[in-house]
Amino acid sequence: QVMSLLNSLYSRYDAMLDKYGVYKVETIGDCYFVAGGLIHEDEDGMAAAMLSAAREVLMPTTGLPVEIRIGLHTGPVVSGVVGTRMPRFCLFGDTVNTASRIESTGLPGAIHASEAT
């Protein structure tokens, strides 16, 4: 059930990437990591669309809409392709760490942004 839920949610998010000009960096478990502003500014368009899309997916155990937490932070990052066998595009730095902390301490069903954003 968890895999079906994540597949439904991530498929919706994947379909929105080009519209909002954001880059999908990776997914790890239930974490969907995107970066905006690499090509052009998005403001919070993708974040708001992700909240809306999540509300369309129902939790299999309760039948209630999925509630996600979103953390936004603005700042410089270091990026690069890491690895040779399965190369991955990665982002590093305080900006990434701050966005992660903002997400993990936020309330479900809301966008949480730093003052820098």
Q: What residue spans define the domains of the chain?
A: 2-113
Q: Are 28 and 36 in contact (CB under 8 A)?
A: no
Q: Strands (DSSP E) along 1-117, which ranges? A: 23-28, 31-35, 69-72, 78-82, 88-92, 110-113
pTM over 0.95: no
Residue 60, pLDDT score: 87
Structure token pair of residue 106? 């936020």
Question: 2-113: which CATH topology?
Answer: Alpha-Beta Plaits (3.30.70)
CA distances from 64 to 31, 82, 94 (A): 20, 39, 35
Q: What pLDDT digit, counting tens, does each position of 55-95 carry?
A: 999 988 899 999 999 999 999 999 999 999 999 999 999 99
